[in-house]
Amino acid sequence: MSGRAYLVDDDEAIRDSLGWLLESRGVACLSYRSAEDFLDEWDPALAGCLLLDIRMDGMSGPELFDILRERGSRLPVIFLTGHGDVPMAVSALKKGAFDFVEKPCNDNELVNRVIEALRLDANQRAAASGADSLNSRLGRLTTREREVMERILAGKLNKIIAEDLQISMRTVEVHRANLFEKMGVRTAVELAQLLAGRR
């Protein structure tokens, strides 16, 4: 398993017991006594999931959650609370929390949720890395290549593209071949599929 469980709770007894529980089921776990502590060490590259207490001294769980989302984190978050109310649970889930569980809870169930969350995160990261590599390739295109690419995706013939850009057809062919090379595709169809959903 690539990711860890990050446990943020100001109650040491909870940290210890949950930490032990997770480790015993093979889930690596790091504990933090406050939201601030976690935020200090947080990095977009941290992979896994976050177990987050609602009420804590200092920054609350939901506050930390909001900050992480603002910073672009998609880390799955499982809220833990001893005093949860319905509106809070609803709000958390609608904002994209992975789960919301009341303490005390069924240990077995919680670990299963954590494992699901880890799997989700792994999948998200795999998808994101694909998107990154795509964007990186896209970024290496020159302006002209991008202009030609747009028109290829619009289904235009090289001849028309040449007229569009007021350059010779030969030049279009060159740009076309170069951008195919850079994008790692062999045909316009592959290019279209590669960029499917985007733009």
Q: Which stretch binds DNA (CB under 7 A): 7-15, 48-56, 101-109, 168-176?
A: 168-176
| 101 near its own copies, judged by CB under 8 A | yes
| 170 near DNA, judged by CB under 7 A | yes
| 93 near its own copies, judged by CB under 8 A | yes
Interface of this chain with DNA, residues 135 to 164, rule: CB under 7 A: 142-145, 157-159
Of 70, 87, 136, 143, the residue at the interface with its own copies (CB under 8 A) is: 87
| 106 near its own copies, judged by CB under 8 A | no
CB 62 within 8 A of CB 54: yes
Q: Could you tell which of DNA, its own copies, none binds residue 102, using a CB distance below 5 to 8 A set by kind?
A: its own copies
| 99 near its own copies, judged by CB under 8 A | yes
| 134 near its own copies, judged by CB under 8 A | no
SS (H, E, C) the chain: CCCEEEEECCCHHHHHHHHHHHHHCCCCEEEECCHHHHHHHCCCCCCEEEEEECCCCCCCHHHHHHHHHHCCCCCCEEEEECCCCHHHHHHHHHCCCCEEEECCCCHHHHHHHHHHHHHHHHHHHHHHHHHHHHHHHHHCCCHHHHHHHHHHHCCCCHHHHHHHHCCCHHHHHHHHHHHHHHHCCCCHHHHHHHCCCCC
Q: Which C-beta is closer to its own copies: that of 46 or that of 52?
A: 52
Q: Could you tell which of its own copies, DNA, none binds residue 177, using a CB distance below 5 to 8 A set by kind?
A: DNA
Q: What is the binding site for its own copies (CB under 8 A)?
A: 84-87, 89-90, 93-94, 99-102, 152-153, 155, 186-193, 196-197
